[in-house]
Amino acid sequence: MPELPEVENIVMSVATLLENQQIEFIEILDSVVVSGDIDLFRSNVEGQRIKHLNRKGKYIIFEMEKGYVILHLRMTGQLLKGDLEDKHTHLKIHLANGKIVSYRDIRKFGGFFFLEKEQLNAYFESRLGLEPLKMTYEEFNGALKKAKGSIKKILLDQKIIAGIGNIYADEILFYAGIHPQKNVEYFSKRRKEKLYEGIYVVLQTAIEEGGSSIRDYVNSEGKEGGFQDQHQVYGRKGKGCYVCKTPLKKITVAGRTTVYCPQCQTKR
């Protein structure tokens, strides 16, 4: 599933094509990728100008003149420049200038929906927590004080911190030297500060490297990311830690496969 760095790269790579452009029409090839009535969706969107493209957590937000189009890529969604013709392309955005952006999704778990302006804040406030690249340490610390359970579970909880998934939770915890099962209630101030630093450094570096291409992820130009080559633990079960050479271990935390270094990430 595309996480924050991948979604951010998609937004950056397609924004110049979409922003300030009018949508001429929406070509829906499979209605499963549009929530609600497809005729109502088209009438809400067609003819409108896209003012701005943004990201919130793992969501892509098209700010329209009236309302918002929201896209969540889920497992295998891709937003690609051009007129794609393959069987996995389910929706096309036709712009008034003749350009086309195609939505491709092998598993068809992702999709679009429309929100009125007054619905936006309430929708996200009930679903998403702090934006990790914008939160202050005080906000982060306040969220941790309210949370309970393992730190891996907390990092994956979108209602606490938005945008972090399995890949970056593992990488952040390695950076901070924290065991994924460690209970957040017993974190020292120093440990919290290192974790806060790790969230920013890992996510920002991943964005700069174009994200992680593990399976299906490419940006809107079809280019793979490069951060997967810098993964310290994710997907490296049994291989030697780059720091101490100890074989990395795999466990399950919060129902998710988790890889960590038992030497660098102790429960102490």
Q: How confident is the model at residue 267 (pLDDT cuts 50, 70, 90)?
A: confident
Q: What digits encode the pLDDT tens for the residues 228-265?
A: 999 999 999 999 999 999 999 999 999 999 999 999 99
30: exposed, middle or buried (C-beta count within 10 Å: 0-12, 13-18, 19+)? Answer: middle
Q: What digits encode the pLDDT tens for the residues 141-191?
A: 999 999 999 999 999 999 999 999 999 999 999 999 999 999 999 999 999
Q: What digits encode the pLDDT tens for the residues 46-79?
A: 999 999 999 999 999 999 999 999 999 999 999 9
- The question of whether 3 is a catalytic residue gets the answer yes
Catalytic hit among 74, 108, 249, 256: 256
Catalytic hit among 3, 6, 8, 171: 3
Catalytic hit among 58, 92, 152, 192: 58
Q: What is the pLDDT of residue 72?
A: 99
Q: What digits encode the pLDDT tens for the residues 123-146?
A: 999 999 999 999 999 999 999 999
Q: What is the pLDDT of residue 1?
A: 85
Instruction: Record the pTM.
Output: 0.97
- The question of whether 2 is a catalytic residue gets the answer yes
Catalytic hit among 2, 5, 132, 180: 2
Q: What is the pLDDT of residue 255?
A: 96
- In sequence order, what DSSP letters do the residues of 34-103 get, joined into one string? B-S-HHHHHHHHTT-EEEEEEEETTEEEEEESSSEEEEE-TTTEEEEES---STTEEEEEEETTS-EEEE
Which domains are present in the chain? Answer: 4-125 (3.20.190.10), 137-260 (1.10.8.50)
Residue percentage of the chain with pLDDT more than 70: 100
- The question of whether 256 is a catalytic residue gets the answer yes
